[in-house]
Structure formats: C-alpha cells, structure tokens
C-alpha cells in the first residue's frame, strides 16, 4: 500500500476510507491523530491548513503508520500516549491502554476517598500508572502506592508519575508480595478476561496488548479471588476495596467480597448500563 501524496484534506478522506473498509471503529479519529502527529498539526490546523501537501519525508511516515494501523496496531501505541481523566498518559507495548471505562472507577474512588477522608491508597497491577496517577493528581492529599509485576510496565508508570510530579510510590511486586504496611483503600483493574474468550477479542487487543494484563484465568475471576483474600491484611479498619470488573462480573465479584466478610458492597454501572465497578468495605 502507498498513499498518493496529496493535500491534508484528501489524505484525511483517503485514510478514513481505508480504515473504514478494514472495519476500524474510530476510522476518522485514528486518521486525524496520525496526520496531526506526523505533521505537527493541532486539531484546528488539520482543518484550517487542509490544503497543505506533506513533503516526501512526512508522507513516508504517514504511510508507515497507516500500514501499521491497518495491520491492527492500536493508534495509542503508535502515538505512545493516550488520554485518561483529562491527563496525557504515556503507553508502551508493555502496558494495557487505559480505557475510558476505567474513569468510572477513578471517579468513584475519588468521591469516597474525600467523603471518608482516606489518606493512603494502593493500586495493584498499575500498568501505565493511570489509576494511581490520576487519583494522586486530583486529590493532592492522597499518598498512593502502586505495584506491578512487570518491570517494563513500571518504566512507563515512572515516566508518567514524573511528568505530573505527583506523590506515587512504585513497587515491583507480584500482587502483595513486596507490599508493606496498611492502606485506607485498595484499588485494582486486574486482568479479568476469561482465557477462552481471548481468541475472540478484537485483533488490536489480542495481538498487541499484553496478555498478562488481560487473562483472568478460566472463569476470569482468579485475580479477584487472590486480591480480595489478601487485601484484608493490608486494609485499615473501614478500608475500601474497589475493582473494575468485566461487564457481566458484578455479581460474581460481589460474592467474592461477601465471602471474605466485606460490607456495604455495591455494583456501579457504566454509561451503557453494564457492570463496571464493585466496591466493598472491610
């Protein structure tokens, strides 16, 4: 494939068309993001300077990214960043791309933390650091600790935390293995996809995102069972456990919390009315 060298306006139309033909959901957004980054244009310039014809070098780079996107690589990995809670979050192939759905978890935790005056929080399996970072950014009194089993994920989390200068302590840890002390709340968006479902996921997810961040075992609930049982040792009295869950896992995860003695358990739905967050108190 090679795009013809033409104006931004024509390129935007051509690339969007190509993406649509290949069933890429956000065809126009992805086409716009690729052009903006490779040309150094803002969103406004994409329209106000739409007669601009990229030079040969710019054209080569645009071509290359369009090809990569057509192969399935998510645009966020091409750009090396995404937006989450209004913040710019760096990503690499070694971290899950933060999803808009996860903002529901962060907003819920922010609300309850300020109501209850929580001071300390632990984010398990932080990946890019998006959850811990945005909690610390929007509530400057919080002292966050965030852990991940992957050193390569922690490299990205470290950069994100540095970019925003927030108070987040990073620990390399397989779940609670290297965690010390107690916390007012524990938050996690653990891997929760059932192993058998993974081959049916969109190729941009199953071929590019780290499987370790997605695979929750045979019934998708392995991490909820492990984290919930151990969390009792690490939570202060009246502390909160808050999870993101899969769209059909609210009841199963609530039951795991109940079996471990958690109280006031609640399921929060996302904008589509599907289960998204489960919260309980020690």
What residues line the site for ligand GLN (CB under 6 A)? 96, 99, 189-193, 205, 214
Burial 18-40 (b: 16+ CB within 10 A, else e): bbeeeebeebeebbbbbbbbbbe
**Judged by CB, which is closer to ligand GLN: 3, or 197?**
197
Helix (H) or strand (E) holding 279: strand 275-281
Rounded to a whole number of angstroms, the minimum distance from the CB of residue 62 to ligand GLN is: 28
Rounded to a whole number of angstroms, the minimum distance from the CB of residue 236 to ligand GLN is: 26
Q: What is the CA radius of gyration of the chain?
A: 21
| CA gap 269, 282 in Å, rounded | 22
**Judged by CB, which is closer to ligand GLN: 75, or 193?**
193
Q: 88 — phi, psi (to 5°)?
A: -90, 115
In terms of phi and psi (left: phi > 0; alpha: psi -120 to 50; beta: otherwise), the region of 149 is: alpha
Rounded to a whole number of angstroms, the minimum distance from the CB of residue 28 to ligand GLN is: 22
Rounded to a whole number of angstroms, the minimum distance from the CB of residue 187 to ligand GLN is: 12
Rounded to a whole number of angstroms, the minimum distance from the CB of residue 214 to ligand GLN is: 5
Rounded to a whole number of angstroms, the minimum distance from the CB of residue 152 to ligand GLN is: 17
**Judged by CB, which is closer to ligand GLN: 50, or 210?**
210
Rounded to a whole number of angstroms, the minimum distance from the CB of residue 166 to ligand GLN is: 22
Task: Report the number of secondary-structure helices (H) and strands (E) in the chain.
Answer: 11, 9
The length of the chain in residues reads: 282
**Judged by CB, which is closer to ligand GLN: 66, or 97?**
97
**Judged by CB, which is closer to ligand GLN: 99, or 263?**
99
| CA gap 141, 137 in Å, rounded | 9
- The answer to whether 160 touches 166, Cβ cutoff 8 Å, is no
| CA gap 186, 36 in Å, rounded | 38
By C-alpha distance, which of 253, 251, 246, 245 is closest to 225? 253
**Judged by CB, which is closer to ligand GLN: 15, or 96?**
96
**Judged by CB, which is closer to ligand GLN: 109, or 193?**
193
Q: Using N-to-C axis directions, what is the helix angle for 27-39 and 56-71, rounded to 10°? A: 150
């Amino acid at each position: 494939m090679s795009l013809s060298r033409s104006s931004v306006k024509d390129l935007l139309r051509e690339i969007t068309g190509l993406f649509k033909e290949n069933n890429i959901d956000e065809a126009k957004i992805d086409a716009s993001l690729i052009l903006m980054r490779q040309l150094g244009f803002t969103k406004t310039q994409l329209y106000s300077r739409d007669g601009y014809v990229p030079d040969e070098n710019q054209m080569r780079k645009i071509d290359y990214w369009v090809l990569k996107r057509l192969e399935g690589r998510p645009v966020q990995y091409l750009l090396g960043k995404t937006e989450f809670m209004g913040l710019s979050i760096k990503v690499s192939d070694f971290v899950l791309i933060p999803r808009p759905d996860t903002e529901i978890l962060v907003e819920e935790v922010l609300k309850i933390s300020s109501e209850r005056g929580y001071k300390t929080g632990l984010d398990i399996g932080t990946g890019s650091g998006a959850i811990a970072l945005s909690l610390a950014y929007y509530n400057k009194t919080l002292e966050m600790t965030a852990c991940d089993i992957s050193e390569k994920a922690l490299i990205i989390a470290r950069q994100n935390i540095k970019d925003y200068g927030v108070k987040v302590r990073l620990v390399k840890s397989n779940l609670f293995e290297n965690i010390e002390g107690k916390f007012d709340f524990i938050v996690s968006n653990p891997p929760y996809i059932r192993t058998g479902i993974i081959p049916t996921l969109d190729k941009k997810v199953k071929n590019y995102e780290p499987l370790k961040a997605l695979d929750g075992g045979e019934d998708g609930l392995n991490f909820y069972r492990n984290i919930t049982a151990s969390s009792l040792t690490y939570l202060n009295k009246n502390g909160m456990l808050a999870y993101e869950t899969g769209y059909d896992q609210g009841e199963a995860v609530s039951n795991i919390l109940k079996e471990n003695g958690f109280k006031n358990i609640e399921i929060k739905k996302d904008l589509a009315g599907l289960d998204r967050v489960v919260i309980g108190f020690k």
